[in-house]
Chains A and B, each alone.
Chain A
């Protein structure tokens, strides 16, 4: 082998060489992204439940204190 014969290096080598560990990382990452996106979308969707009657086609008038121009 091309590395010092210590427990740390052996562990790291096993980490990168064992089949399946890479798959776990891909799946955890992919699953994590899908899950967090799903949660974000739900969070945005729930935002509609707020007790606000005014709706806007774009956010400027409500978020950034510009005057509303009725088009």
Chain B
């Protein structure tokens, strides 16, 4: 019988044995969306892929975008929790379970997109029978197989002691299949020294192995596009660009999942400001790196103006894909500002009128109007320099106004930025795949309008993602119980060590003297 804190038991273990009507209602809602998607998919199988909006030359559409997006999300977990484990970041403890669950679930949903996109899904196993090593799709089959199996293992290994806890603390009146499940998954876990030694070794090896696999997965997905000679795809930086985008969107997914789990399950004591702060810094860095790659990718296209590539870029900058492209850029810039501004803003500034949240609304409206005039959607209300000046000034003021608001609500602000990034990254994948497909070499430029089939299946894919994630968290603790207990002991030991504060330098001392 393994011991567990009463508080941990009440917060993390006991909710798994009951289910509220709200939970079942939510599950029903998800099942309804999935049912709709399944019906539309059935139609697509019966009548052919013509039920989608895809055509020639747009042979790949929303399904491919979803595929890249979901596999990108999957980098949340394993990569982040593995890197944090390897580097010994203590604060990771309470969020690793959520991160690893996202990984496994996103991989399942992502791989499913390939099957959905196939003209003859019943021939899927041909990939495993006639697989040709030259095809990037087979590289993908290799790396995604390795990643899926690896991340399921990586999710499962730290779950063993928790499954044993659940087995030992299972209530008398609980459902019997659930008890049997925990007993099975605990694989005879006693928790003696030898077992802990072996488990820790296995987790440490997995954490190292999973990192190169994760990097390879999204690199290879980018190579599916980059190894063709199509305009706009045949790029050398796609590998690292996609990996960066994957980690970036992965952190976004982790933030959203963390916030929801924290709010719904009341885990404020486990997932605290510390996790938000530290992961937030990583989020800012990934945003900046992503921006840098995006700029580098498009600058070379814009400067070269190669005859076949430039129309692709032009369609993004001011053509039919411009709304999506600039929405993506705006979302990323806003996410960056939401994360960075509270760090820059001194606490006292919050009281100043310039930073009043209400002021930001007015200025935001002015900014929107000037932006629309510049884009030619509205008549210019003044001369060009005035409009540009108004845009810059109102944007600055609006940014300042919301900054104070975000500073007082770190969790909500981070979740908002994370949602912006998730939407932005979906659009990024769309902006990479669709414009090249509609601007081929020797076929008429086309337009691509997804149909209800694609919308339904996309909605069902997201519902499936949420469904699997919810079911997982209903069966297993959202926070790795043993890791958190261990972390508490380590924290307590560290607290005993006294580290003297650094002596303020003479310059700092004189500065403070002058100020006060």
**Given A16-B134, A56-B196, A63-B196, CB of A33 within 8 Å of CB of B128:** no
Asked if A7 is at the interface of the complex by the 8 Å CB criterion, the answer is no
Quick one: which of A33, A54, A55, A59 contacts B200, CB cutoff 8 A? A59
Q: Which A residues are in CB contact (< 8 Å) with B200?
A: 59, 63
| Contact call B145/A29, Cβ cutoff below 8 A | yes
How distant is B210 from chain A, measured CB to nearest CB, in Å?
Answer: 11
Listed residue (A30, A37, A40, A55) with the most chain B CB atoms within 10 angstroms of its CB: A55
| Contact call B131/A71, Cβ cutoff below 8 A | no
**Given A44-B160, A58-B486, A58-B489, CB of A33 within 8 Å of CB of B187:** no
Q: List 24 A-B contacts (CB under 8 A).
A: A16-B132, A17-B134, A19-B130, A20-B129, A20-B130, A21-B132, A21-B133, A25-B131, A25-B133, A26-B142, A30-B146, A37-B153, A45-B188, A45-B189, A52-B194, A54-B193, A56-B191, A56-B193, A57-B161, A57-B165, A57-B481, A57-B485, A60-B489, A63-B196
Assembly CA distance A66 to B417 (angstroms): 40
> Which chain B residues have a beta carbon within 8 Å of chain A's beta carbons?
1-5, 127-135, 138, 141-142, 145-146, 149-150, 153, 160-161, 165, 187-200, 202, 481-483, 485-486, 489-490, 492-493
Assembly CA distance A53 to B497 (angstroms): 32
| Contact call A34/B149, Cβ cutoff below 8 A | yes
Q: 7 tightest A-B contacts by CB?
A: A22-B131, A50-B194, A47-B195, A19-B130, A23-B131, A59-B196, A58-B486
Interface residues of A in 1-30 (CB under 8 A from B): 15-27, 29-30
Assembly CA distance A17 to B480 (angstroms): 46
| Contact call A33/B146, Cβ cutoff below 8 A | yes
| Contact call B187/A41, Cβ cutoff below 8 A | yes
Beyond the given A23-B131, A59-B486, please list 9 additional residue pairs across the A-B interface where CB-CB is below 8 A.
A17-B133, A50-B193, A52-B194, A54-B193, A56-B191, A56-B193, A60-B490, A63-B196, A66-B490
| Contact call A22/B135, Cβ cutoff below 8 A | yes
| Contact call A48/B192, Cβ cutoff below 8 A | yes
Q: Which A residues are in CB contact (< 8 Å) with B141?
A: 22, 26
Listed residue (A29, A40, A56, A70) with the most chain B CB atoms within 10 angstroms of its CB: A56
Q: Which B residues are in CB contact (< 8 Å) with A48?
A: 188-190, 192, 194-195
| Contact call B489/A55, Cβ cutoff below 8 A | no
| Contact call B187/A45, Cβ cutoff below 8 A | yes
**Given A52-B193, A58-B161, CB of A47 within 8 Å of CB of B142:** no
Q: Which B residues are in CB contact (< 8 Å) with A71?
A: 3, 5, 485
Q: Which B residues are in CB contact (< 8 Å) with A37?
A: 149, 153
Q: Which B residues are in CB contact (< 8 Å) with A50?
A: 192-195
